[in-house]
Structure 1
Amino acid sequence: MLKKDTLFENIVSLFTLKGLEYIIGFITFPYLVHTLGPTYYGVITFTQSFINYFTLVTDYSFNLTAPQQLATTEPKYWGKIFTTIMYTKIIILGLCSFFIVLFITIFDNIFTNKILCFVIYLNVIGNVIFPIWFFQGIQKMRYITIVNIVSRTIATVLIFIFIKTSNDYILAALFLSITPIIAGCLSFFVLLTRYKFIFVKIRLSDIKEQIKYGWEIFLSIIFINIYSSSNVFFLGLLTNNTIVGYFSAVKKIIDCINGLLTPITQAIYPYINSKIKTSKKEALLFIKKCTLILSVGTGCISIGLYIFSDVLVNIFLGKSFISSIGLLKVMAFLPLITLLSNMWGIQTLIPFGYKNVFSKIVIKSAILNTLMIFFWIHFLEAEGVAYSMLITELFVTSMCYYKVKTKIK
Structure 2
Amino acid sequence: MSKKRLLENIFSLGALQAANYALPLLLLPYLAHTLGVEKLGLLAFAISLMQLFSVLIDYGFNLSASRQAAVHRNEPTALNHLFAAVTTLRITFASAGLLLLYLLIQTIPRLQSDANLYLASYILVAGNALFPLWLFQGLERMKLASLIQIGTKFTGFIATILLVKSPDDIVLAAFLQGSTNLAAAFICLPLVPGAIGATRIVPPKLENISQQLKEGWHIFLSSAAINLYTSSNLFILGVLTNPSTAGIYHVAEKTVRAVQYLFEPINQAVYPYISKLAQDNPQAALDFNQKMLKWAGAASLLSSISLAVTAPWIVPLLFSPDFSASVEIIQAMAPLPFIIVISNIIGKQKLLAFGFSREFSRIIILGAGLNFATFPLMAHFFGALGAALANVATEAMITTFFILKSRKTNFLKH
Contact 1:33 1:41 in 2 (8 A): yes
Name the CA distance, whole Å, in 1 between partners of 2:239 and 2:251: 17
Instruction: Report whether the alignment pairs 1:185 with 2:186.
Output: yes
1:247-278 superposed Cα distances (whole Å, 9 cap, x missing partner): 01111111211221111111000001110111
1:201 offset after TM fit, Å?
Answer: 2.9
Structure 2 partner of 1:161 = 162
Could you say which residue in structure 2 is the equivalent of 1:43?
42
Q: Which residue of 1 aligns with 2:13?
A: 14
Whichever residue aligns with residue 384 of structure 1, its letter is G
CA distance in 1 between counterparts of 2:130 and 2:233 reads 27
Matches of 1:219 and 1:55, distance apart in 2: 14
Cα offset, 1:155, TM superposition: 0.5
Q: Which moved more, 1:373-382 or 1:387-396?
A: 373-382
Q: 2:15·2:150 contact (CA, 8 Å) conserved in 1?
A: no
Describe the shift of the 1:199–1:96 C-alpha distance in structure 2 as closer, same or farther (beyond 3 A).
Answer: same
* Amino acid in the other structure paired with 1:167: D
Residues 78 and 198 of structure 1 are in contact (CA less than 8 Å); yes or no, is this contact kept in structure 2? no
Which whole-Å deviations, capped at 9, do the CAs of 1:1-45 have from their partners, x for residues lacking one?
x11111011112222333455653453222112211211110011
Q: C-alpha displacement at 1:123, in angstroms?
A: 0.4
In the alignment, is the contact (CA less than 8 A) between 1:39 and 1:241 conserved in 2? yes
Write the distance in 2 (CA, Å) between the matches of 1:37 and 1:293. 40
Question: For 1:149-298, what aligned pairs fall within 5 Å after superposition?
Answer: 149-191=150-192, 195=196, 196-197=198-199, 199-298=201-300
Q: Which residue of 1 aligns with 2:397?
A: 395
Return the offset for 1:179.
0.7
Distance (whole Å) between structure 2 residues aligned to residue 343 and residue 194 of structure 1: 29
1:123 and 2:124 equivalent?
Answer: yes
Change (3 A) 1:346 1:242: same
TM-score (norm 2): 0.95
Structure 1 residues 201 and 22, CA gap change in structure 2 (3 angstroms): closer
Residues 1:371 and 2:377 aligned together: no
> Cα distance, 1:338 vs. partner?
0.9
CA displacement at 1:294 relative to structure 2: 0.8
Are the counterparts in 2 of residues 83 and 198 from structure 1 also a CA contact under 8 Å? no
Aligned residues of 1:45 and 1:244 also touching (Cα < 8 A): yes
Change over 3 Å in CA distance of 1:137–1:49 after alignment to 2:
same
| Between 191-200 and 324-333, the greater mean CA deviation after superposition | 191-200
TM-score (norm 1): 0.96
The amino acid of 1:302's aligned partner reads S
Q: Tell me, yes or no, if structure 1 residue 358 matches structure 2 residue 360.
A: yes
Which residue of the partner structure matches residue 66 of structure 1? Answer: 65
- State the partner residue of 2:108: 107
Preserved contact between residue 79 and residue 197 of structure 1 (Cα < 8 Å): no
Q: Which residues in structure 2 correspond to 1:304-315 (within 5 Å)? A: 304-315=306-317
Asked if the contact 1:41–1:245 (Cα under 8 Å) also holds between the matched residues in 2, the reply is yes
1:284 and 1:44 map into 2 onto residues whose CA distance is: 43
* Amino acid in the other structure paired with 2:377: F
The one-letter code sitting in structure 2 at the alignment partner of 1:75 is E
| Partner of residue 302, structure 1 | 304
CA distance in 1, matches of 2:94, 2:122: 11
Cα pair 2:156 2:176 within 8 Å, conserved: yes
* Residues in 2 aligned to 1:299 and 1:37: alpha-carbon distance in whole angstroms: 33
Q: 1:198 offset after TM fit, Å?
A: 5.9
Counterpart CA distance in 1 for 2:16 and 2:134 is 15
Deviations 1:193-251 (Å, cap 9, x if unpaired)?
65544611331111011001111110111111233221111111110000000001111
How far is the alpha carbon of 1:158 from its aligned partner? 0.8
Change (3 A) 1:114 1:143: same
Structure 1 outlier segments of 4+, above 4 Å: 20-23, 192-196
Give the CA deviation at 1:284: 0.7
Partner in structure 2 of residue 27 of structure 1? 26
Measured in 1, the distance between the counterparts of 2:112 and 2:254 equals 23
Identity of aligned residues (%): 30
Letter in 1 for 2:75: P
Q: Which amino acid aligns with 2:151?
A: V
